[in-house]
Structure 1
Amino acid sequence: MSDAMQRERMDAIYRTQRHFYDLTRRYYLLGRDRLIDGLAPPVGGTVLEVGCGTGRNLIVAARRWPDARFHGLDISPAMLETARASIARADLAERIELREGDATGFDSQALFGVEAFDRVFLSYTLSMIPNWQAAIAAAAKAVKPGGEVHIVDFGQQERLPVAFRAALFAWLARFDVTPRDELERALAVAARGVRGSYRFVPMFRGYAWSGVVRRG
């Protein structure tokens, strides 16, 4: 899928949803704030969210880690419009910078004037990116040596009732959301690509999966 097609697809999905996205997603996008608590960027460090959407996570992260600078990347102009408005209302425009770009391949220097980041995170975005493995690889290459990529997304509901899993997956499919059953393997591949390490942790009985890739 081309960049233009993906951009149009995301805008079509979220052109209306963006106005009430945060009100509804708080009930089932579990683990986002746990990810933000675990970022722990160094003082004066740089953090990038890939697939920043409405800017909700960036606002929470900027308040949680006031000594870091934050950047957001999203392919949807509609979502970025909402994010800019939300960040301005939160009085955080001087600490959060947004740019339009493709998660599967982006130039940090050209977009943000940042050669590499201390932390990159992706929160419930991989399940919507067709070439999601490339997004993980791009994120891993965008961090400094010793930097980390933090990920949380839907798991495989492996310790939850089968009926719940079937109903959830059917509902997610209506929004072009596909939980990635090979996430751990992709983390391992990305870690090898940057001579680093990874960890993988199922949460909430498998409702969500989280992972960290640390660059060597």
Structure 2
Amino acid sequence: MGALSQLRTLYHLTLSPIRGETHQQRLDSFYGGQAEDYDEFRKRMLHGREALFDALPAPAGGAWVDIGAGTARNGELFGERLREFGSVTFLDLSRSLLKVADERIAREQWANARTLCADATEIDLPDGSADLVTFTYSLTMIPDWFAAIEQAHRLLRPGGVIGVVDFYVSRRYPADGLRRHSYFARNFWPFWFGNDNVHPSADHLPMLQRRFQTLQVDEHYGKLPWVPVVRAPYYRFIGRKPAA
């Protein structure tokens, strides 16, 4: 990624005003000028996606719904295993990003894949129709994230798997086995990311563990482009919807 492209993306991340009355309008205002450079810049700051998809199943003939899919780059992280699914739905509310996703689907000739422009809290897909649901750095951008998790739970069949990777902060007193962040980290990162309508929460991971059977939880820190020394906290969660 060239320096000019990086600077253009940084401008839209930090200085470009975000306009719009609805969440969709604000998303397209934010992403419209950086959609083409989205993947190259963010793969340097959105850590843990490769490890998540290495650990996720790709059941033959199954259905995968990627919520907040953006440009559909997650399809590439599955590699050839993506073609084993019966159906793949890349869902996002930003038309700017989905335009890039449609181009990727056509280029890669993913005959089983499609895009769906929809709100993550109001998904018009049948109950129990998915074998796998994923959120990769999208849950922190959904204002009503409670409803998004409930939608994921509704979409999954009993025994279906959910995979999430995202920024977060810990609770002041986290559950046993989970990492405890400093007072500075718990307050700094929501402020830092909040300027871009990204909202790391202390409650995402506990809510996921409440609604799904935990299969795997990892907590890490990752580098940020153009920001030396500091590392942002992120987690990976893999869970299963309990059998009815």
Q: Per the shorter chain, which TM-score range?
A: 0.7 to 0.9
The structure-2 alpha-carbon separation of the partners of 1:214 and 1:48, relative to structure 1 and needing over 3 Å to count, comes to same
SS state at 1:103 partner: coil
Q: Normalized per residue, which structure has more helix?
A: 1
2:139 maps to 126
User: Residues 53 and 116 (structure 1 numbering): CA distance in 2 closer, same or farther, change over 3 Å?
Assistant: same
TM-score (norm 1): 0.83
- In the aligned structure 1, how far is the partner of 2:112 from the partner of 2:79? 7
SS of the residue 2:134 aligns to? strand
Within 5 A, what are the aligned runs for 1:131-146? 131-146=144-159
Mapped to 1, the partners of 2:194 and 2:238 lie a distance apart of 26
Listed as ranges, the matches of 1:1-216 within 5 Å are 5-61=22-78, 63-68=80-85, 69-92=87-110, 94-109=111-126, 116-156=129-169, 169-191=190-212, 197-199=213-215, 201-205=217-221, 207-216=233-242
Q: C-alpha offsets along residues 8-49 of structure 1, whole Å, 9 cap, x if unaligned?
A: 111111001211110110111011111111221221111110
Percent identity among equivalent residues? 30
Structure 2 distance, partners of 1:58, 1:188, is 25
Structure 1 unaligned blocks of 5 or more: 192-196
Check the 8 A contact 2:128/2:154 in 1, yes or no: no
Distance in 1, Cα, partners of 2:140 & 2:186: 15
| Structure-1 separation of matches of 2:149 and 2:65 | 13
Q: CA deviation at 1:168?
A: 5.3
Query: 1:173 deviation in Å?
Result: 2.3
Structure 2 stretches of 5 or more lacking a match?
A: 1-20, 171-178, 222-231
- Whether contact under 8 Å (2:128, 2:158) holds in the other structure is no
